[in-house]
């Protein structure tokens, strides 16, 4: 049984790890991700979740709802987001905040987000390797391994190392 995230990481990091794990599973790696159709990936990701009881239960047991294209979603009994500091009024603006903060998002826009980040990381690392900056070899390998934690850490460091967004 894969161990993708723990509640100690918080909902946002856990959400990111699960999104990357699902994409890695259905794509068979990130090496050709930039050339894939995001609409098709979104459909495959939904099917993956609906057919993979172990991963689905793991996500939902952490209190992370899963949202699909068309704003369909799955949730468990307990959810982290919206928490006590959130406006719990149900409207599209608040739902987007909740999704961003801690719902596993398998919609087209989110998949495109990860696709763009993989492109940026790949381009940055390729330039660095050409320049001979060998200290980045391990980071480059993270892009092509199944280690989604290393990949997410690399993306976070490029984004400025922020651990948490304020809402």
Each of the 167 residues of the chain gets a pLDDT tens digit; together they read 566 766 667 888 999 999 999 999 999 988 888 889 999 999 999 999 999 999 999 999 999 999 999 989 999 999 988 888 888 888 889 889 999 999 999 999 999 999 999 998 888 877 776 666 555 555 666 677 778 888 888 888 778 765 444 43
* In the chain, % of residues over pLDDT 90: 45
What pLDDT is attached to residue 16?
Answer: 94
Cα 112 from Cα 114, distance rounded (Å) = 5
Token look-up 């997410």 returns 152
pLDDT value at residue 115 = 95
Residue 105 backbone dihedrals phi, psi, to 5 degrees? -110, 115
What's the CA gap between 107 and 88, in Å, rounded?
22
Beta bridge partners of 104: 66
C-alpha 102: how far from chain center: 10
By the 10 Å C-beta count (0-12 exposed, 13-18 middle, 19+ buried), 32 is classed as exposed
pLDDT at 167: 35
User: Looking at residue 83, what is its pLDDT?
Assistant: 82
Spatial contact of 30 and 118, defined as CB atoms under 8 Å apart: yes
CB atoms within 10 A of CB 166: 4
pLDDT score of 18: 95
């Amino acid at each position: 049984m894969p161990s993708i995230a723990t509640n100690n990481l918080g909902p946002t990091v856990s959400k990111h790890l699960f999104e990357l794990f699902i994409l890695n599973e259905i794509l068979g790696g990130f090496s050709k991700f930039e050339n894939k159709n995001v609409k098709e990936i979104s459909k495959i990701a939904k099917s993956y979740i609906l057919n993979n009881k172990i991963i689905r239960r793991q996500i939902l047991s952490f209190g992370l709802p899963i949202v699909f294209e068309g704003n369909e979603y799955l949730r468990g009994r307990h959810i982290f987001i919206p928490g006590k500091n959130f406006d719990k009024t149900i409207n599209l603006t608040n739902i987007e905040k909740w999704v961003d903060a801690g719902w596993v998002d398998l919609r087209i826009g989110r998949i495109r987000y990860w696709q763009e980040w993989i492109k940026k990381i790949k381009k940055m690392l390729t330039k660095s390797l050409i320049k001979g900056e060998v200290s980045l070899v391990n980071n480059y390998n993270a892009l092509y391994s199944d280690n989604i934690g290393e990949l997410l850490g690399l993306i976070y460091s490029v984004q400025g190392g922020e651990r948490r967004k304020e809402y």
